[in-house]
Amino acid sequence: MTEIDPRALRNAFGAFMTGVTVVTTHDQDGNPLGFTANSFTSVSLDPPLVLVCLANSSRNYDAFYQADGFAVNVLAEDQKEVSNTFARPVEDRFAAVNWQKGPHGAPVFDGVSAWFDCATFNRVEAGDHLILIGEVKAFENATHPGLGYARGAYVTPAAEAEALSRGSTLKVSALIAHEGKVLLSGDDKGQLVLPEVKVGKGGATAALKQLIAASGVIAEPGFIYAVYEDDACETQHITFLCQASGGTPSSGIFTELSESTLMSVADPAVCTMLSRFAEESRMGDFGVYYGNQVSGEVRPLTKGD
């Protein structure tokens, strides 16, 4: 049995698609507390049980451990910002949403796909996390599509289909990532660009495969990371997030997304997207994926290579 590399394991965990939740409770003074988590699953119908995992290192660990209940808010596709807020060290996270006390007392949000207001049923210590099992005392189910999360990035199938259905010329670009770095090359004006190609009759996947083959890197087409419209040119751009597993770039280099790198990206839409990628990668390390608080108390993962 080989030694487990925590960073590689974390990436493999990301292969399993999930929704995104914000788990909430009150502290002993009645202040609302909450954190973003995707380590949620339904468990049982009779009695009705759900579970969520909480990092031992979370600054709210004690409050959630001692609480007599908690709520799980399943975020809708348009609530990325709520997810980000509850994964960041924000002063007043609850200012970002309309919320109220659920029937069992924990904060439940407006505009979510569903919420479950639970009584604490059991607590199970499991390595560096606590499995918090709740008995559903009340719930609400809306019809909004849920926000998804996979491979360290949000997945929003309904929003993407909408953008793609508007027609016009289509270009595909590849956000080829390796250990947090992104494959960028310089254009003829010295600006940094992603590999991009116009979509032909073969469709987006054929175009993407062509891009990857030309890159010299071993990577497989992944999820759509962004769809955006370039008004001036009446072009739709689709960016696929592709994880590289080996090979050597034939042009361009894998680049850390520092502030100075981002300033050399000419296209504002690409710049925004790469900023988001840089932020979400950080959150993937410490935030969303493990349902941790982003705080000084969170110990960094051992870096593998």
Enumerate residues 173-232 that contact a copy of itself by CB under 8 A: 199, 201, 203-205, 207, 219-224
* Residue 56 C-beta: closest distance to a copy of itself, Å: 9
* Residue 296 C-beta: closest distance to a copy of itself, Å: 19
How far are the Cα atoms of 22, 44, 99, 142, 243 from residue 15, in angstroms, in the given order? 21, 24, 32, 27, 11
Q: Which of 81, 162, 256, 297 binds a copy of itself (CB under 8 A)?
A: 162
Q: Give the residue with the Cβ less far from a copy of itself, 142 or 269.
A: 142
How far are the Cα atoms of 124, 132, 262, 284 from residue 67, in angstroms, in the given order? 15, 11, 43, 27
Q: Give the residue with the Cβ less far from a copy of itself, 69 or 107.
A: 69
By CB under 8 A, the residues from 273 to 292 that bind a copy of itself are 290
How far are the Cα atoms of 70, 103, 183, 300 from residue 153, in angstroms, in the given order? 26, 33, 17, 20
DSSP 233: G
Q: 157-183 burial by CB neighbour count: b if 16+ within 10 A, else e?
A: eebbeebeeeeeebbbbbbbbbebbbb
Q: Which of 16, 66, 214, 233 binds a copy of itself (CB under 8 A)?
A: 16
Q: Sort 269 into a burial class: Cβ within 10 Å, 0-12 / 13-18 / 19+.
A: middle
Q: Which of 9, 213, 214, 263 binds a copy of itself (CB under 8 A)?
A: 9
Question: Segment near a copy of itself (CB under 8 A), from 179-187, 235-243, 259-267, 270-278?
Answer: 235-243
Q: What mask, x for binding a copy of itself by CB under 8 A, covers residues 119 to 158?
A: --xx-x-xxxx-x-x--xxxxxxxxxxxxx-xx---x-xx
By CB under 8 A, the residues from 31 to 70 that bind a copy of itself are 38-51, 53
